[in-house]
Amino acid sequence: MKDITIRLSSEEDLDLLSQLNRQLIEDEMHDNNMTMDQLKERMSGFLSLNYKAYLFMECDDLKGYALINHDRQPLYLRQFYICRDSRRRGYGKAAFFKLLDYIGTRIIDIEVLYWNETGKKFWNSIGFKERSIYMRFE
């Protein structure tokens, strides 16, 4: 595996980010049923406020992305996605630690859906520890 590079995304990447976000929603079995247009509009809102999106690349090959809220302390990693064809090959771990170096932090918060066992196993494997239980009444 070659070295992962990180590119700060821009408004020009909204279609791509929306597609990747749709795949993330599907893979984590989230109940978000937004259309692609709605996802694009939401992502545009994130980027116009306090979020930055980062693309993970290997040469010219897209490996995934992350969306981070830079107004929160510690920083909040809202979305993290590795492309389906690049999973279980070390890209997630490599991209995550490269991202921490790129943004200059060693402390970051995440949320993982309760039923997302694959996500929990990944985050635990790289050193995350549970701190709270987020609950919802519907």
Distance between CA 121 and CA 19 in Å, rounded? 24
pLDDT tens, position by position, 77-95: 999 999 999 999 999 999 9
pTM, to two decimals: 0.92
pLDDT of residue 43: 96
35 within domain boundaries = yes
Q: Cα 129–130–131 angle (5° rounding)?
A: 115
106 within domain boundaries = yes
Q: Partners of 55 in the beta sheet?
A: 7, 65
Residue-range definition of the domain harbouring residue 26: 5-125
136 within domain boundaries = no
- Supply the DSSP symbol for 3: P
For the chain, the domain total comes to 1
**CATH assignment of the domain containing 113:** 3.40.630.30
pLDDT tens, position by position, 34-54: 999 999 999 999 999 999 999
Mean pLDDT of 1-16: 90
pLDDT tens, position by position, 51-80: 999 999 999 999 999 999 999 999 999 999
88 within domain boundaries = yes
138 within domain boundaries = no
Phi, psi for residue 102 in degrees, rounded to 5? -60, -40
Distance between CA 30 and CA 95 in Å, rounded? 23
pLDDT of residue 64: 98
Distance between CA 97 and CA 103 in Å, rounded? 10
